[in-house]
Amino acid sequence: MGYGLLAAAIAAEVAGTTAMKYSEGFTRLWPSLITVVGYLLAFSLLAQTLKTLSMGTAYAIWAGIGTAAVAAIGVLFMGESGNLVKVVGIALIIAGVVVLNLGGAH
């Protein structure tokens, strides 16, 4: 159940961050509200996750996968530059999370 809650926390954080881009500095109501709700939900779900998963592992997965997802969304859907260095960076983030899990950090 912990990993399911963590996946939901990541999705909420990614949605909140994506909405923040559209909030135009919190000057647009609906994207701003989605940002606030997304982050409240993300932190609430992360707190629930910490009941069953170790803090280091949960936070590393949450931050790493969230960062990789937001970077990918920026490149794929928001016209941000995508180059080999950025792709390698995203791959390294994901590899780091996998190594943490394989290393028995959970």
84-102 and 55-77 helices cross at what angle (nearest 10)?
A: 160
Tokens 């290393």 locate to 103
Distance CA 34, CA 13 (A): 10
User: Cα 60 vs. chain centroid, distance in angstroms?
Assistant: 10
Number of domains observed in the structure of the chain: 1
Q: And the tokens for 91? A: 């791959």
Domain that holds residue 75: 2-102
The per-residue pLDDT for 83 is 92
Going from the C-alpha of 68 to that of each of 26, 33, 46, 56, the distances in angstroms are 24, 23, 18, 18
pLDDT beyond 60 at 106? no
Mean of all residue pLDDT scores within the chain:
93
pLDDT score for 9: 98
